Chains A and B, each alone.
Chain A
Amino acid sequence: MSSENIQREKLLEVKDLWVSFGKGRKKFQAIKGVSFDIYKGETFGLVGESGSGKTTIGRAIIRINPVEKGEIIFKGKRISGKIDKETNKELIRNIQMIFQDPMASLNERAKVDYIVSEGLYNIHGFTDEADRQAKVRKAMMDVGLPPEFATRFPHEFSGGQRQRIGIARTLIMNPELVIADEPISALDVSIRAQVLNLLMDLQRQYGLTYLFIAHDLSIMRFITNRLAVIYKGQIVELGETEKVFQHALHPYTKALISAIPQPDPLSERNRTVLQYDPSVHDYTVDKPVWTEIEEGHWVLANEAEQAAYRAEIQENL
């Protein structure tokens, strides 16, 4: 998981992405020009409050939400807009998603055996029945479930086990990129640790790349290599996770970090929570641009702010 070992090969590139819902006067601009790269083998975090658009980005990548402007490139190939059938099929196999609520995301009327192999049926991903069963077996064992459980229905499982089924069905596709949308927020505290450990193990074992979407910054700090903070459809700051935590530049990031409750009464009692006031930015003349303020550390700022941030970086050195 350490950042030095990651080969800096771009797996996914998002370039000036715009997404909107509705038309005409009812149009809602959910994503306003977002750009980031995800490198192979890393865990990239997208953090923001509800309604900020973090899920929309994930869904735009897997082509559920149409892209209005900009493009998404996966392994050097454009995957947004019109693409041919072959690319689409390839994409379905290569990018998979884990959802938040394991109670709602599994088909109640299907057996686990079918749920896990459903993706394979769609892309004809097996040679014969024996091959399919072997693949299901392997996926079940990879996520730590006994393969015999494949004959059961979802309601027979606990929340943690259901989330494992959710992971097994992405794993069976042999994906390169896994988008995990709040994969542990619906789970109990003690189960969270199990699922986080499993995700880390699988990453090591299969060299997976994760796009981790969550609102909980403390979990992000633990699991991600790089982190992007999104506010109202725009990424305001992006960088190595520890860097963002220790030397956040954007006032919104600072406010967000100051609001995380720590399980440590000594520091909790003296903690002051910062409030983010968007009016601190004067963007009337001097417009903000997405800038690499120092190597690998991006921030949304105008000329004046950039100068201030540079001074802040000098001070921190």
Chain B
Amino acid sequence: MSENKEIILSVKDLEIQFTLRGQTLTAIRGISMDLYKGESLAIVGESGSGKSVFTKSFMGMLDKNGKVTGGEILYKGRDLAKYKTQKEWLGIRGKEIAMVFQDPMTSLNPLKTVGKQIQEAIVLHQGLKGPEAKERAIEYLKDVGIPDPERRYKQYPHEFSGGMRQRAVIATAMACNPEILICDEPTTALDVTIQAQIIELLRDMQRKYDLTIIYITHDLGVVAKVADRVAVMYAGDIIEVGTAYEVFYNAQHPYTWALLSSLPQLGIKGEPLYSIKGTPPNLFKEIKGDAYAPRNPYALNIDHEIRPPYFDVSPTHKVRSWLQDPRAPKAEPPKTIQRMLDRWKEVYTNE
């Protein structure tokens, strides 16, 4: 997916800190990552791993006590990490990068009709006015699969069901005409059957408007469905990134192993699931070595001392783990991971 692909957004050694009661918390600890035009990148990780903070920094939406303390976010020749004022951000937010949030109940204004909210974005970002803007808003409602758009245009969010509301939120985002769409847990609050529909809708929108989409989610089922590439985050760092096939069938980082092995879908009935021991590290303190080392049954001595660099498993697959070092002893991945690899081999030898 990434070969000969145009880079649309490039993050270099990004560090983000928050000040809380006089203490400093490092939420993002030096992430470098490229986003390719037209791709779907999924960012996965536990809550607190920094996946939301990371993407919010692309839109200048960090909380007041948080700021970018190092690194660059390069987008169309501009460094977003240097942006300070709201005025600067207005050129990016919505217009270039838009966001769809988890809970459609809270991301729409309950006091305004759905149509007006979409129209607002059209007026602001597409320069249309009056009846033209209204017509376009109705078009967008139709576009995202809302039946009877003329009537729906005049309704308030509370008159919409959860799935329809999420569709309306997507319409609002589309009305801004963005290049990049960030979807933060877009389906978590919805029923399974509705989930599938929303995912399908997002894929349609991606094809139609040539969008680049970042999915933030902890649902690895959704990731398997939509992602071209997957980035796994742990304690404010991307510890493994690769194509979806590489990360699901040939995972290399022990944390990714643990994450996959703890899924009931991949477990064997009647046998206990793998569960990660301990708790994530305290980000108020400086982390020495690999952040996952204290919980990692595969940890080497060096993991507790020196932070591993990225090792290239393939041109598209990078892993931050000392196990990749040629001098490291060979680690036997858990059974679930081996089964995933076997499945991959099975499919490919048959074809």
Residues of A within 8 A of B (CB): 1-2, 49-50, 158, 188-194, 196-197, 200-201, 215-219, 221-223, 255-256, 259-266, 268-269, 271, 273, 275-276
Instruction: Tell me if B193 counts as interface (CB < 8 A to partner A).
Output: yes
The reply to whether A218 and B264 contact each other, CB–CB distance below 8 Å, is: yes
- Complex Cα spacing A81 to B310, Å: 66
- Complex Cα spacing A130 to B347, Å: 62
- Complex Cα spacing A268 to B225, Å: 5
Q: Which residue of B lies closest to A263 (CB)?
A: B220
- Complex Cα spacing A275 to B267, Å: 28
Given known A-B contacts A196-B273, A256-B193, A223 and B244 have beta carbons under 8 A apart: no
The reply to whether B273 and A197 contact each other, CB–CB distance below 8 Å, is: yes
* Interface size counted on chain B using CB atoms at 8 A: 45
* B residues in contact with A276, CB < 8 Å: 193
List 14 additional contacts besides A265-B245, A266-B347, A276-B193; criterion CB under 8 Å.
Answer: A158-B279, A190-B258, A193-B276, A215-B192, A221-B264, A259-B192, A259-B195, A260-B192, A261-B196, A262-B221, A268-B225, A273-B197, A273-B200, A275-B193
Q: Which 7 A-B pairs have the closest CB atoms?
A: A261-B221, A222-B264, A193-B262, A193-B273, A263-B220, A193-B275, A49-B191
Q: Which residue of B lies closest to A197 (CB)?
A: B272
Instruction: Tell me if B343 counts as interface (CB < 8 A to partner A).
Output: yes
* B residues in contact with A256, CB < 8 Å: 192-193
- Complex Cα spacing A114 to B266, Å: 39
Which of A189, A217, A271 sits near B263, CB closer than 8 Å?
Answer: A189
- Complex Cα spacing A221 to B267, Å: 10
Which of A2, A194, A265, A271 sits near B275, CB closer than 8 Å?
Answer: A194
Residues of B within 8 A of A (CB): 46-47, 162, 191-193, 195-197, 199-200, 218-225, 227, 244-245, 248-249, 258-260, 262-267, 269-270, 272-276, 279, 340, 343-344, 347
Which of A197, A217, A266 sits near B192, CB closer than 8 Å?
Answer: A217
The reply to whether B275 and A197 contact each other, CB–CB distance below 8 Å, is: yes
Given known A-B contacts A49-B193, A190-B258, A256-B193, A264 and B224 have beta carbons under 8 A apart: yes
* A residues in contact with B192, CB < 8 Å: 49, 215-217, 256, 259-260
* A residues in contact with B225, CB < 8 Å: 261, 265, 268-269, 271
Chain B CB within 10 A, most for which of A188, A193, A269: A193
* A residues in contact with B249, CB < 8 Å: 265-266
Shortest CB distance B59–A (Å):
25
The reply to whether A2 and B270 contact each other, CB–CB distance below 8 Å, is: yes
* A residues in contact with B265, CB < 8 Å: 218, 221-222, 262-264
- Complex Cα spacing A276 to B265, Å: 23
- Complex Cα spacing A167 to B209, Å: 49
The reply to whether B269 and A266 contact each other, CB–CB distance below 8 Å, is: no
- Complex Cα spacing A265 to B248, Å: 7
* A residues in contact with B266, CB < 8 Å: 263
* A residues in contact with B263, CB < 8 Å: 189, 193, 263
* A residues in contact with B221, CB < 8 Å: 218, 260-263, 268
- Complex Cα spacing A261 to B227, Å: 13
Chain B CB within 10 A, most for which of A188, A223, A269: A188
